[in-house]
């Protein structure tokens, strides 16, 4: 039987964490659970200790961000010889057979496998459908078996089954990102190493992010992170992308009648030496994790 470590990064997760952890307890494929808590102040950790005493917890004491906290879990999964790490968002949960079906569908070429990511109402998550829907719809127009895997260019890290080989090869999340863009960059590096990303249509799981709206300024700021994602992609030409993304930010400001992308240009240009160094490092085996 495959050995799986479910890694959950928490930050004030009291609203969701019971449902999240209960779903792992009910999994038809047993898994160990590691929670990395990023300094929660809402009682998340005491609740886990009381209601889920078998769950291992690492308390960072501060908000390290999604990538840095997950790196701790990926390192433990690697060092303790797990076959897979399963990255699970705090606001997400498994179906009973999610892990079983993903593991059954895995082959060595698949670095990351995801189930169908649904919202709390049981429909495809909006962003998941935007990124993966056309590939899934096309593949499912033919045959459909429990082990069918649909290759996709990208899938969000709310539900990732990551193979041990992918952990050893790709490494951890890049410190170039503190919030958003980490999973994009990791998948770009997965492709750099000639491994693949897929969705298993027979498996499903929930990502409950409904009802949350970002303020306009934060939404625009996050759109700007796309520039960092693109220059950090080892599959793209660095010299061209550093110029192209400045032009993209100028155009974004004009299109949205917003000065936020224009202010971001100064920060972006100042970070370019750091981003180039991290981009080069990201191409090494085990980058940001095993080095």
| Contact status, residue 123 vs residue 204, Cβ threshold 8 Å | no
Query: What is the pLDDT at residue 123?
Result: 96
Q: Which fold is adopted by the domain 4-207? A: Spore Coat Polysaccharide Biosynthesis Protein SpsA; Chain A (3.90.550)
Query: What is the pLDDT at residue 25?
Result: 98
Query: What is the pLDDT at residue 147?
Result: 63
Query: What is the pLDDT at residue 56?
Result: 98
Exposure on the CB side of residue 33, measured as CA atoms within 13 A: 29
Q: Where are the domains of the chain?
A: 4-207, 216-282
Helices 216-231/182-192 angle, 10° precision = 20
| Contact status, residue 116 vs residue 159, Cβ threshold 8 Å | no
Q: In whole angstroms, how far apart are CA 27 and each of 1, 14, 272?
A: 14, 21, 44
Secondary structure element (H or E) that encloses residue 52, with its range: none
Query: What is the pLDDT at residue 291?
Result: 65
Exposure on the CB side of residue 105, measured as CA atoms within 13 A: 29
Q: What is the pTM of this model?
A: 0.96
243 class by beta-carbon count within 10 Å (0-12 exposed, 13-18 middle, 19+ buried): exposed
Mean pLDDT by 10 residues, the chain (291 residues): 97 97 98 98 98 98 96 98 98 98 96 97 95 92 72 98 98 93 98 98 93 84 95 97 97 95 96 98 97 65
């Amino acid at each position: 039987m495959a050995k799986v470590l479910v890694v959950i990064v928490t930050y004030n997760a009291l609203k969701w964490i019971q449902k999240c952890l209960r779903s792992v307890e009910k999994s038809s494929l047993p898994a160990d659970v590691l929670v990395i808590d990023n300094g929660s102040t809402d009682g998340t950790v005491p609740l886990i200790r009381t209601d889920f005493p078998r769950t291992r917890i690492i308390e960072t004491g501060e908000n390290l961000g999604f990538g840095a906290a997950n790196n701790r879990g990926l390192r433990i999964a690697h060092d303790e010889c797990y076959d897979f790490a399963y990255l699970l968002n705090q606001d997400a949960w498994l179906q009973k057979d999610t892990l079983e079906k993903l593991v059954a569908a895995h082959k060595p070429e698949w670095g990351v496998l995801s189930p169908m990511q649904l919202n709390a109402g049981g429909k495809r998550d909006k962003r998941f459908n935007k990124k993966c829907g056309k590939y899934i719809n096309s593949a499912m127009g033919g045959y459909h078996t429990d082990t069918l895997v649909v290759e996709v260019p990208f899938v969000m890290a709310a539900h990732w089954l990551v193979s041990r080989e992918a952990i050893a090869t790709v490494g951890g999340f890049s410190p170039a990102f503190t919030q958003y863009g980490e999973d994009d960059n990791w998948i770009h590096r997965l492709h750099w190493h000639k491994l693949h990303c897929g969705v298993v249509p027979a498996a499903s799981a929930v990502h409950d992010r409904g009802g949350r709206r970002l303020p306009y300024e934060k939404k625009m700021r996050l759109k700007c992170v796309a520039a960092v994602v693109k220059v950090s992609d080892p599959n793209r030409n660095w010299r061209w992308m550093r110029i192209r993304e400045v032009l993209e930010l100028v155009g974004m400001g004009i299109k949205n009648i917003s000065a936020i992308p224009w202010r971001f240009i100064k920060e972006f240009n100042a970070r370019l030496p750091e981003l180039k160094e991290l981009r080069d490092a990201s191409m090494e085996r085990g980058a940001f994790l095993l080095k």
